[in-house]
Structures are given as C-alpha cells and as structure tokens.
Amino acid sequence: MNRIAVVSALIAFLVGVSVATFSEVRMFLPAILKGAVVTVQVSVLSIALFLFMSVISGIGRSHGNTAIRWISTVYIEVFRGTSLLVILFWMFFVMPEFGVTLSPLFAGVLAIGLNFGAYGAEVVRGAISAVPRGQTEATIALNMSAYRRMTRIILPQAIAIMIPGMSNLTIELIKATALVSAVTLVDITYAAVQQNQLHYRTVEIFTITLLLYYCLAQFVRFGGEALEDNYTRHLRRRG
C-alpha cells in the first residue's frame, strides 16, 4: 500500500505540474482524454478476448485430445509468429476482399486479442505444467473425471502461478493498442499526433500521453499484485 501511495502521489504531482506549467493544456487535453476513452474501450475488450483464448488454447494444448492439441498449436504458432501490425492490417484491409468487412474497433480488438492470446496460451500451459504431477495422479486414483480434475485441482493452483505472467502481458497489450491508430481509430496516440499537428506543443502533448499510458499500466500492475496476494491467501486457507 505504501508503494501505491508513493506512485499515486508522484503521478498526481507530475500531472499537476503539467497542468500548471503548460498554458495551452486546456486546448488539447479534452481531445486526448477522448482518445483515452477509446484506448480503454479497446483494451478492455481485447483483454477479455486475450484471457479467453489464453485459457482455452493453453488447456487445449496441454490436456486436449489430438485434434484439439493440433488446432491449439496451429493457432498459437501462427499468431505468435506473425507481426501484430500485419495481423491488424489483415483484419481491416484484407478481410473485405473475402466479403468480410470489420469495423476499426472490431478489427483492432480481434487482432490484439488473438495475438496476445497466443502468448498467453503458453503462459497458461507452463503454469499447468508447473502443478506437481502427484496432484494429477492422486485425482486419477480417486477416479475424478477430466473436467473435475482440471477445474477443481489443477487449474486453481495454476492460476496462482500464471497471474504475474498474464499481468505483464496485459500491460504489453495496453501499450500495443497504440497500433489501432493505423486503422483510423482515434486512440490516445492518434489524438496526440493530431493535436500536435494543430498546436505544435510537442513536449506538453506527449508528456501527458506518456503519463496516461503509465497510469493505465500501473493500474494493471497493482491490480495483478493484489489479485495474486488475495488468491494465494485463499488457496492457503483452502489447503
């Protein structure tokens, strides 16, 4: 909590200095904050898709049957091995060639969520593999079904292991949302570039942009740490 207070005070101080020092901030700040709303919207939707694909693909690759493992592996390797920007262009510019037209928001969420889901799947798979094998053997001896074995024994322990890695990926995802400006979405970055072209206040505009991304990243960071602490304590009480 002390670290949270220190960081919050530092952010408040920097924002206060920015507002007090930069006389023209009121001219461009509303547009940047409007872009921040778009960034948060894209981030929240992308994170939901990212987490869903991570869990499904991670479990599928580690505990699925042959067909599910093959499908999960193809998805992970394709989206992990290609550029996010190219995937974004593919979703927005190439898909219409096949008769599928996506809105900029949907294309951005789909590209970012699927791309980071491939990385997250490996985090999930690694966390599941880290659960002691004796746990699985004990559930088999107790004649538990595969579903109950995964949901009641393996996955709860794996979640505590995967939280730090997934938190880091979530922070990277938020920063990667800046790429949606390439498909005409007016997010923080796009709004900052526009306002800089109008007002030529480069230092002020991009300092505020940096602070906004920093605040979003710290929100995820502290949230992840709190979630990890609470979940670990819950597992200890349960054990």
What is the C-alpha end-to-end distance of the chain, expressed in Å? 27
Decide: 65 and 56 in contact? Cβ < 8 Å: no
Is a pLDDT exceeding 70 seen at residue 4?
Answer: no
Cβ-based neighbour number of residue 222 at 10 Å = 16
Cα–Cα nearest to 217, from 1, 7, 6: 7
- Give Rg (Cα) of the chain: 21
Between helices 155-176 and 104-130, what is the axis angle to 10°? 150
Report pLDDT for 199: 77
143-156 tens-digit pLDDT = 777 777 777 778 88
Report pLDDT for 16: 58
Is a pLDDT exceeding 70 seen at residue 24?
Answer: no
CA distances from 61 to 114, 118, 194, 228 (A): 16, 11, 44, 25
Prediction pTM value: 0.84
Is a pLDDT exceeding 80 seen at residue 13?
Answer: no
56-103 tens-digit pLDDT = 999 888 877 889 999 999 999 999 999 999 999 999 999 999 999 999
29-58 tens-digit pLDDT = 888 889 999 999 999 999 999 999 999 999
113-128 tens-digit pLDDT = 999 999 999 999 998 8
Fold of 2-238: MetI-like fold (1.10.3720)
Percentage above 70 pLDDT, the chain: 87
CA distances from 11 to 3, 79, 85, 218 (A): 12, 35, 31, 10
187-211 tens-digit pLDDT = 999 999 888 888 787 888 888 888 8
Average of per-residue pLDDT across 11-30? 63
Report pLDDT for 23: 56
Q: What angle do CA 168, 169, 171 make, to 5 degrees?
A: 65
Hey, where are the domains in the chain? Answer: 2-238
DSSP state of 131: S
Is a pLDDT exceeding 80 seen at residue 182?
Answer: yes
Average of per-residue pLDDT across 162-167? 91
